[in-house]
Structures are given as C-alpha cells and as structure tokens.
C-alpha cells in the first residue's frame, strides 16, 4: 500500500472476488515504473496499491470469458480505450476518457489482481511460451516507447538524441534503430546510467551537465539531431532539447516537468526552422501487441536491464531505489 515514496506498507486486504466476464490473476512479477515514484502524480490518490507492469497466471475465470482459461500466462494492461470515441477513431487512443478511467483491482504490487471485463476484452495478452514473466513486465514500457517513436515518425538515416538514460531512455535507445535511425546519442547526468547507455549501443554518451548542442554538432558532422527524445522531467532538459534539434526536426516529450512548472519556448526560432514539438502518452492495445513481438524477437535486450528483485515485503526498498534514481534501472517486485 503506497502512502508516499518513503512509506510503502505491507497490508492485508481481502482477496478480490470476480464477476461475470472477469478474471483473477495470481501476480508473478510486477515492475516499478518511473511514474510510480512521481509524488506529484501519485500522492493525490494515496493510499493505494500501485503497479501497472504486471504479469501472472490466471487462477479464476468468470462466466462468459471465452478467450482465456485458468493456467494461461498473461500480461494485463491497466488502462484500455473504448475504441469507439472520436479520439480512438482518429488514432489518439491514449487521449480516450475510458482509457484514463479504467484500471485493474487493486494493483500489480499485490498477490492477486481482479481484471475487469473491459480489460479482459482488450487488455489481456498471452505471453509467448518462451517469454519469462520478468521479461513480460517490460511489455507496458516498451509499448509506450513504440507509440512515441511511431508518432514521431523516425526517418531512415536520421540522427537521434535521447536526453535521460533511465529505463525509457534505454528502450528508446535500442528501439529507435528499428525505425530507421542510424546515429543515436544518449545524455544523462548520472554516471551509472551513462554506463548502461554505452552498454546498450549509444554511438556517443554525453554528460548533460555540459553544452549538449555543441557536443551533438561536434560528433554529428556539425549538425544537430533530427529527433530529440526527452525522457526526463528535469526542467533543463526542455531547453537542451529545443537547442539540440536540427532545422526541420522534431522534439518528442516522452516525459515532462510536473504541473505548474512553465518553461519558456523560443517560438519564433521554432517557427522559422519548422521544428515540431510533440508529446506521447501511454500505450494503446496495438502498441502493446507490437511490444510483445519486439521483445520476443530479441530486437531489444530487456532482461539485462533488470538490476534488482524484491519480494512483496520489500517493495518499499524498491521504491526508494527507483525514487533516488542513482544505482538502479529496472526493479522487479515478485509478489
């Protein structure tokens, strides 16, 4: 039960009861997401059970469920779209009001999860037989990256700068080449994460405390980056991103500063140079299905990003590790 980043308690609650059309999952693995430790985002709904990167085994099936059975190994997404509103029909599934309101009960950091009917229908995915439960916890974060890069329309031969080398940055780093990028640079202020960026194939790893635009030009043939992907909510990263993008390029804000923080943008410069600023949020079912195929194909290395594993009783330790953002990457909870 999450109260804040420094107060995560082990509590007993009733085992969920399922209704018609629902399923009950015995949670095997659940990853701590960077958004789980954003207190400005989480405290307003605390106390609650978090965890939305969950994999497990179906142990109960409600009446009317046809496509799933007891014993199935599955990943379940917490948010699902209606597929019928104007946002869904125009491809903006993650702007759908239904997606923002749906969830499973109580959360991935629990022994059992009740999966509502709508999530059973469009948010429950079978794991490939040779995909581990641990690797399956990456389906949600990879799906979010898939969506962002698809919307940003990465062009063949393009250069990409990724600011922030946490889990999302490292997934972007590995996946962006599949979308056609040929030169990929990573930036961070954390030496631990910078080493991982080198390990996962960055053509150059930059210290974000330095002059990032000048460094990019120096290693990129006197050109800035065609695409800049911001994977940190740090305010300085916004300015770095805008200053590091080439004319005709795109800045994708995959992460943003917290609400209430306004950042000045040199609109005249962006206008003159035809620079596009855009965002992406979450993942739709199609993005998640693609993520499963990408992980299963081995195009990106997810297992090597797991740095810590804890039982349910030590979930609080995992939260402190992720919140400190120092010497951890992916922290897995094993209920």
pLDDT, one tens digit per residue, over 202-212 is 999 999 999 99
For residues 247 and 287, what is the distance between their CA atoms, to the nearest angstrom? 29
Percent of the chain past pLDDT 90, that is, above it, reads 99
In-domain check, residue 94 = yes
Q: Are 74 and 155 contained in the same domain?
A: no
134 shares a domain with 147: no
pLDDT band with cut points at 50, 70 and 90 for residue 81: very high
In the predicted model, what is the mean pLDDT of the chain?
96
Question: Residue 296 domain-assigned?
Answer: no
In a domain, 286, yes or no: no
Number of domains in the chain: 2
User: Is residue 84 located within the same domain as residue 162?
Assistant: no
The per-residue pLDDT for range 325-334, each reduced to its tens digit, is 899 999 999 9
Residues 6+ apart with CB under 8 A from 180: 154, 155, 156, 157, 158
Decide if 273 contacts 247 (C-beta within 8 A): yes
Q: What is the pLDDT of residue 272?
A: 95
| Together in a domain, 77 and 167 | no
Alpha-carbon distance of 206 to 212, in angstroms, equals 7
Q: Are residues 268 and 183 in the same domain?
A: yes
How much of the chain exceeds pLDDT 70, in percent?
100
The predicted pLDDT at position 65 comes to 97
Is there a domain that residue 284 lies in?
no
Q: Does 158 lie in the same domain as 127?
A: no
Structural contact between residues 117 and 281, judged by C-beta atoms closer than 8 angstroms: no
Q: Do 71 and 166 reside in the same domain of the chain?
A: no
Same domain assignment for residues 252 and 325: no
Residue 289 lies in a domain: no
Please tell me the predicted confidence (pLDDT) of residue 234: 94
What pLDDT does residue 318 have?
97
- pTM, two decimals, is 0.96
pLDDT range class, residue 181, cuts 50, 70, 90 = very high
Within-domain flag for 288: no
Decide: 332 and 310 in contact? Cβ < 8 Å.
Answer: yes
Q: For residue 250, is it within any domain?
A: yes
Backbone angles phi, psi at 33, to 5 degrees: -90, 155
Q: Calculate mean pLDDT across residues 188-198.
A: 97
Residue among 149, 202, 204 at smallest CA distance from 180: 149
Mean pLDDT for the stretch of residues 139-156: 97
- Establish how many alpha carbons lie within 13 A of residue 247's alpha carbon, considering only the half-sphere containing its beta carbon: 6
Residues linked to residue 113 through DSSP beta bridges, in sequence order:
25
| Residues 152 and 213 placed together within one structural domain of the fold | yes
Residue 292 included in any domain? no
Q: How far is it, in rounded angstroms, from Cα 113 to Cα 278?
A: 34
Residues 196, 192: Cα–Cα separation, whole Å: 7
pLDDT tens column, 35-67: 999 998 999 999 999 999 999 999 999 999 999
User: Bigger pLDDT: 325 or 223?
Assistant: 223
Q: What is the pLDDT at residue 324?
A: 93
Same domain, 151 and 124: no
**How many Å apart are CA 168 and CA 66, to the nearest integer?**
35
Both 112 and 209 in one domain: the answer is: no
Query: Across residues 11-29, what is the average pLDDT?
Result: 98
The CA distance from 111 to 334, in Å, is 9
pLDDT digits (tens, 9 = 90+) for 161-172: 999 999 999 999
Residue 279: per-residue pLDDT = 97
Task: Kindly state whether residues 189 and 119 are assigned to the same domain.
Answer: no
Query: Which of 272, 205, 210, 284 lies closest to 245 in space, CA to CA?
Result: 272
The three-state secondary structure class of 138 is: coil
> DSSP letter at 179?
G
Q: Name the band, by pLDDT with cuts 50, 70 and 90, for residue 24.
A: very high
Q: Which helix (H) or strand (E) holds 122?
A: helix 117-122
User: Residue 13's domain spans which residues?
Assistant: 2-138+302-334
**Beta strands 124-126 and 73-76, pairing class:** antiparallel
Q: Which pLDDT band holds residue 102 (cuts at 50, 70, 90)?
A: very high
Task: Kindly state the tokens that stand for 75.
Answer: 């990943």
Answer yes or no: are the C-beta atoms of 196 and 174 closer than 8 Å. no
CATH number for the domain spanning 7: value is 3.90.180.10
> Which CATH number goes with the domain that contains 255?
3.40.50.720
């Amino acid at each position: 039960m999450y109260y804040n980043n420094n107060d995560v308690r082990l509590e007993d609650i009733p085992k969920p009861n399922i209704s018609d059309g629902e399923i009950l999952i015995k949670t095997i693995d659940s990853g701590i997401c960077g958004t789980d430790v954003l207190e400005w985002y989480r405290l307003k709904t605390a106390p609650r059970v978090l965890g939305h990167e969950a994999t497990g085994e179906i142990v109960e099936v409600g009446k009317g469920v046809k496509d799933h059975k007891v014993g199935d190994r599955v990943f379940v997404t917490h948010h699902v779209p209606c597929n019928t509103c104007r946002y869904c029909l125009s491809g903006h599934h993650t702007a759908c009001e239904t997606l923002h309101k749906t969830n499973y009960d109580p959360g991935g950091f629990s022994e059992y999860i009740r999966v509502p009917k709508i999530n059973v229908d469009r948010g429950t995915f079978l794991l490939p037989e040779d995909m581990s439960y641990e690797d399956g916890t990456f389906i949600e974060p990879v799906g979010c990256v898939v969506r962002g890069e698809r919307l940003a329309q990465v062009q063949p031969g393009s250069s990409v700068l990724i600011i922030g080398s946490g889990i999302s940055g490292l997934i972007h780093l590995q996946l962006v080449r599949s979308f056609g990028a040929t030169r990929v640079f990573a930036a961070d202020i954390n030496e631990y994460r910078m080493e991982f960026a080198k390990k996962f194939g960055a053509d150059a790893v930059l210290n974000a405390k330095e002059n990032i635009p000048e460094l990019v030009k120096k290693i990129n043939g006197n050109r800035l980056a065609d695409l800049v992907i911001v994977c940190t909510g740090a305010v300085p990263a916004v300015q770095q991103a805008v200053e590091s993008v080439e004319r005709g390029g795109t800045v994708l804000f995959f992460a943003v500063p917290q609400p209430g923080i306004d950042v000045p943008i040199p609109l005249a410069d962006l206008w003159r140079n035809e620079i596009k600023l855009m965002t992406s949020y979450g993942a739709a079912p199609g993005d998640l299905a693609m993520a499963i195929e990408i992980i299963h194909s081995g195009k990106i290395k997810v297992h090597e990003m797991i740095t810590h594993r804890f039982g349910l009783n030590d979930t609080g330790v995992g939260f402190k590790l992720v919140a400190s953002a120092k010497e951890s990457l992916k922290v897995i909870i094993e209920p």
